Amino acid sequence: MNGCSEDQEKRSPKEIISFGAGPSKVPRLIRDRVQTGIMNFKNTGLSILETGHRSKEFTQLMDSCRARIRRLFSIPDNYQVLFLQGGATGQFDAIPMNLFGNRGVTKADYLVTGSWSHNAAKEARKYGAVKEVCTRVEGFTELPNRMTWHLDPEAAYLYYCDNETINGIEFNEVPQTHLDVPIVCDMSSNLFSRPVDIARYGLIIAGSQKNLGCPGLTIVIIRNDLIGNELTGTPGILSYRIQAANASVYNTPPTFTAYVVDEMLNWIESEGGLQEMARRTKAKSDAVYKAIDSSDGFYKCPAAKKDRSRLNIVLHLSDRSLESKWLEEATHQGFVGMSGHRSVGGIRISLYNAITMEDVNCVLNFMSEFKRKYS
């Protein structure tokens, strides 16, 4: 028996559900569609695995991805959508390389609010001056008070991570900075989980392995005026100018990942778009946090309530020695990928778009039963 109710169990008695922080669960519908493309992509007789990246069919696929993203976010005409590689980690270098030439300065403001923004600031220091504009909170369990931020009006950009997957905290609004300072945001784990006003940003990055299926593509949404200012020596593969000029096929892109991303974007549109994704995400996270908060202290969430992530719920058991048992029994029930990041331990339940409310209810039933057995 898994952690679902009897009715839920009848629908998917042997299904393994991945609540991992990435790669994420992919909807069954998309998995079925992808199998077709592996055997015969667009009726070409070729597998997507064999399809050339400069073929007409793949060019149409990339154009479709761009068009869907532009449509979902209503992206203004003065922005480019690029498909790169290397994930956010690669962008930790690409961003300062491309933007430290902006406004003729090589300095930037960084909001260090968790492990990923810390890593981004560390990499950026190789290329110029990085100012941490807020005091770090011990354990990164909440966002620093905005009244304590010290922003530089002459910075090349302000960088922040919208959702810290390791620490389980998320911004609920766009940080305010000086008018001429572009905002750069790592939305690797929460892009496509809610509407975003793209015009408020200079640059947004996101990996495909969270809300868009399998890993391999890095989505970059960038305002045109920020392209073309890269530092001397910036590698072509990391240059936004060169990638834009080559329609993101400066090198051979991961063709299979692009195919999955296009199918996922189509799925998001057909399911009701970003407003619907936001509604579902809130319902799922609200249910899990309610279970934690009403457990009489058996389950504990270290993140401040005002800053809790909707996508990555970090929790501990009051008896930390039971956490390995919890994870073991969860795996036995068919729930995988819920170990906390190695740097913080504990348990992490990730609720990306493909996770359904039914999946969440299954886990909640398991959590309740585990508490009954061990409290």
10 is catalytic: no
Q: Are 209 and 217 in contact, with CB atoms under 8 Å apart?
A: no
Alpha-carbon distance values, 307 to 12, 109, 132, 164 (Å): 34, 21, 20, 10
Among the options 93, 109, 162, 186, which is catalytic? 186
Count Cβ atoms within 10 A of the Cβ of residue 168 and give its class: 0-12 exposed, 13-18 middle, 19 or more buried: buried
Strand partners, 132: 110
Q: Are 262 and 68 in contact, with CB atoms under 8 Å apart?
A: yes
Distance CA 55, CA 34 (A): 19
186 is catalytic: yes
Strand partners, 221: 81, 204
Q: Are 157 and 108 in contact, with CB atoms under 8 Å apart?
A: yes
Q: Beta 183-186 vs 158-161: how paired, if at all?
A: parallel
290 is catalytic: no
Among the options 93, 109, 116, 307, which is catalytic? 116
Among the options 210, 262, 267, 326, which is catalytic? 210
Which residues are part of the catalytic machinery?
Answer: 116, 186, 210
